[in-house]
């Protein structure tokens, strides 16, 4: 023992408080020291409300069954180690004593094997640890059936806790001092408001400048291919479709500008029924429709010229190019907007104006803008 005699220098030797209790009162250290491990284990379990009902013993030590199980478990752990080692060899060795792992056009096949080999070895290592553990628990551990009591709620706890809570509340006097409660409620509400207010930084007005209703297309803007080359009538075969973009900076990556320039076949022209007031939007046997689906905004890109239908691969809306790209099947409800086109002085296709309606998916106030 320490010889210090000032207060606090003795370690935990004061008498226990009068309410101290617990298992140490029932079992002296000497008694505990006299018990073997198994009975201590059972005693502790009992103390936690657990009773071990039944134990199936593991295979007898030295029996064939035990040896077999031991062999299986060790083989699983050994295999895990082997796989892990192989992983390290493949990971580190590639590009050193094994062929390079990186993708190359002049490939010897190793780069295609590299990731699968890593997965196989890593998966094998981890899974074999698991398998070994399962075998160990199943075959070498005693199978024990234990039962633990569930504690239902107690009325004693409820009554005493309620009394403690209500007693504390009474002491604060809030039920009586209503002004404090009200002012605190006001402050809480206002502070809450203050804390969410910065979310206002996310709010932007979507209606300034009608961004949803406008695209880079405008009067006189040329229709160009993805590579920037302009298009003349006669460049396309009848019945063909070409994706075109406005000849402005960033036109070919703008989200709402992609347009399909379609050259109709003679029989399609005979069947052509443009939308009301849009009969002159095409030029000769050419029509140009927005490529952005009016349903969910995917690019509609599958054109089946026998049936004159354009299919959206996302949700299978189908549009008939001879009927002003009217939706004829699927979930889309509006026609693809048509771009009014003509030729410029040099004989290249140009837009006569922007789309006269918003392209892309429908929204709440689309008809109002």
Partner 1 sequence: MATTAVAPGQPTTKIGKAATEIDERLIVAGPLRRSLNKVFPDHWSFLLGEIALYSFVILLLSGTYLTFFFDASMSETVYQGAYAPLRGVEMSQAYESTLALSFDVRGGLLIRQIHHWAALLFVASIVVHLVRIFFTGAFRKPRETNWMIGVVLLVLALLMGVTGYSMPDDLLSGTGLRIISAILLSIPVIGTWAHWAVFDGDYVGDAIIGRFYIVHVLILPAIILALIVVHLLLLIKQKHTQFPGPGRTEHNVVGNRLFPAFAGKATALFFIVFGLCAALGGLVQINPIWLWGPYNPAQVSAGSQPDWYIGFLDGSTRLFPAWDINLPGDYTIPALFWPTVVVAGAMFTVLALYPQLERKLTGDTASHHLLQRPRDVPVRTSVGVMALTFYGVLWMSGGNDLIADKFDISLNAMTWVGRIGMIVVPPIAYMATYRICLGLQRHDREVLEHGIETGVIRRLPSGEFIEVHQPLGPVDEHGHGQLSYGGAPVPKKMNQVGGARRAIKGFFKPIEQVSDVELGSRREQRGLAAAEAERDQLTRSGRPSEGGRPSDGGRPQDPRD
| Residue 329 makes contact with partner 1 by CB under 8 A | yes
| Residue 203 makes contact with partner 1 by CB under 8 A | yes
Task: Tell me how far apart the alpha carbons of residues 277 and 273 are, in angstroms, rounded to a whole number.
Answer: 11
| Residue 85 makes contact with partner 1 by CB under 8 A | no
Two tokens, residue 120: 């196989």
Total residues at interface with partner 1 (CB under 8 A): 105
| Residue 56 makes contact with partner 1 by CB under 8 A | no
Contact 230, 247 (CB under 8 A): yes
Task: Tell me how far apart the alpha carbons of residues 269 and 285 are, in angstroms, rounded to a whole number.
Answer: 7
Long-range contacts, stretch 31-34, CB < 8 angstroms, 24+ apart: none
Site for partner 1 in 302-321 (CB under 8 A): 302, 311, 313-318
The sheet carrying 309-311 orders its strands as 302-304, 309-311, 318-320, 326-329
Smallest distance, partner 1 to C-beta of residue 137, A: 4
Smallest distance, partner 1 to C-beta of residue 126, A: 3
Q: Which is nearer to partner 1, 146 or 163 (CB)?
A: 146
Q: Is 136 exposed, middle or buried (0-12, 13-18, 19+ CB in 10 A)?
A: middle
Binding partner 1 by CB under 8 A: which of 331, 342, 352, 356? 331
Smallest distance, partner 1 to C-beta of residue 206, A: 4
Site for partner 1 in 93-122 (CB under 8 A): 94, 101-105, 115-120, 122
Task: Tell me how far apart the alpha carbons of residues 338 and 290 are, in angstroms, rounded to a whole number.
Answer: 6
Task: Tell me how far apart the alpha carbons of residues 336 and 328 are, in angstroms, rounded to a whole number.
Answer: 12
Q: Which of 322, 243, 328 is nearest to 294 (CA)?
A: 328
Smallest distance, partner 1 to C-beta of residue 172, A: 29
Which x/- pattern, by CB under 8 A, does the window 244-273 give for partner 1?
A: -x------xxxxx-x---------------
Q: Contact region for partner 1 (CB under 8 A) — 183-191, 272-280, 298-306, 343-351?
A: 298-306
Q: Contact region for partner 1 (CB under 8 A) — 28-36, 154-162, 216-224, 275-283?
A: 28-36
Binding partner 1 by CB under 8 A: which of 79, 84, 212, 248? 212
The CA R_g of the chain, rounded to the nearest whole Å, is 40
């Amino acid at each position: 023992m320490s010889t210090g005699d000032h207060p606090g220098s003795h370690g935990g030797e004061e008498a226990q408080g009068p309410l101290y209790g617990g298992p140490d009162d029932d079992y002296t250290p000497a008694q505990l020291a006299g018990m073997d491990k198994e009975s201590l284990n059972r005693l502790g379990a009992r103390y936690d409300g657990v009773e071990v009902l039944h134990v199936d013993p593991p295979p007898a030590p030295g029996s064939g069954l035990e040896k077999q199980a031991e062999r299986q478990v060790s083989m699983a752990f050994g295999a895990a180690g082997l796989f892990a080692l192989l992983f390290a060899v493949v990971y580190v060795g590639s590009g050193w004593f094994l062929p390079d792992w990186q993708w190359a056009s002049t490939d010897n096949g190793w780069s295609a094997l590299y990731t699968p080999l890593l997965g196989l070895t890593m998966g094998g290592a981890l899974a074999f640890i698991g398998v070994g553990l399962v075998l160990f628990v199943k075959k070498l551990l005693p199978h024990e059936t234990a039962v633990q009591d569930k504690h239902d709620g107690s009325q004693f706890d409820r009554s005493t806790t309620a009394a403690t809570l209500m007693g504390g509340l009474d002491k604060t006097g809030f039920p009586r001092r209503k002004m404090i409660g009200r002012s605190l409620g006001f402050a809480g509400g206002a502070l809450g408001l203050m804390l969410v207010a910065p979310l206002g930084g996310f709010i932007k007005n979507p209606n300034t400048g009608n961004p949803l209703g406008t695209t880079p297309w405008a009067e006189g803007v040329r229709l160009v291919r993805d590579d920037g080359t302009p298009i003349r009538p006669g460049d396309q075969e009848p019945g063909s479709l070409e994706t075109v973009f406005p000849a402005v900076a960033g036109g070919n990556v703008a989200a709402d500008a992609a347009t399909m320039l379609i050259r109709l076949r003679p029989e399609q022209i005979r069947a052509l029924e443009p939308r009301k007031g849009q009969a002159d939007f095409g030029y000769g046997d050419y029509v140009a429709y927005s490529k952005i689906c009016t349903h969910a905004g995917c690019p509609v890109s599958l054109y089946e010229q026998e049936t004159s239908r354009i299919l959206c691969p996302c949700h299978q809306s189908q549009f008939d190019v001879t009927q002003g790209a009217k939706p004829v099947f699927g979930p889309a409800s509006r026609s693809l907007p048509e771009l009014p086109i003509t030729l410029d002085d040099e004989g290249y296709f140009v837009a006569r104006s922007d789309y006269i309606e918003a392209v892309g998916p429908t929204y709440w106030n689309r008809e109002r803008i």
